[in-house]
Amino acid sequence: MRVETSTPLSNLSRSFQRQNSAVEQTPEQAREGLRVSLSELSKSLSASANGKSQDIDESGLPDNIKDLLKMIRKLKAEIAAKQAEIRELMADQSKDADTKRAEAQALQSELATLNGALTSANATLIKQMREQGLSGEQMQTASSLAMG
């Protein structure tokens, strides 16, 4: 069994290159051809994170800040799901060590990508809060929502 260990970003890049080399497409057409699959655990955690955004919606913060906060929660849920997948893999006694190692590397690569996206979203949140001149109270609200 062979497990692809390249990063999801490089896979996406190669996919675009293959699509664009076969037929020249607009970005909208290329986006329509993309598909992301989440595990059932990821789907349930993501759904629960999306369902728990009522406090963000009611915060009175600007819409772009609310959107960033929702994205941060979704990324945190996906990170938790990926960590659970790694723990589940490590506990699986039915797989041989090489297979387990290769799968773990792939999962850790995906986890690193998610962590990078979370770091970027947090940095964007801070930048947007400064640029929009939020009050101290609004900044504290946004920070507590980002942590929750």
Instruction: Decide if 81 contacts 41 (C-beta within 8 A).
Output: yes
Q: How far apart are CA 65 and CA 68, in angstroms?
A: 5
pTM for this model (two decimals) = 0.64
Average pLDDT over residues 2-9: 49
Instruction: Decide if 83 contacts 111 (C-beta within 8 A).
Output: yes
Residue ranges covered by each domain of the chain? 9-37, 39-147
DSSP string over 96-141: -HHHHHHHHHHHHHHHHHHHHHHHHHHHHHHHHHHHTT--HHHHHH
State pLDDT tens for residues 107-148. 999 999 999 999 999 999 999 999 999 999 999 999 999 987
Categorize the per-residue pLDDT at 8 as very low, low, confident or very high, splitting at 50, 70 and 90.
Answer: low
Instruction: Decide if 49 contacts 74 (C-beta within 8 A).
Output: yes
More confident site: 32 or 134: 134
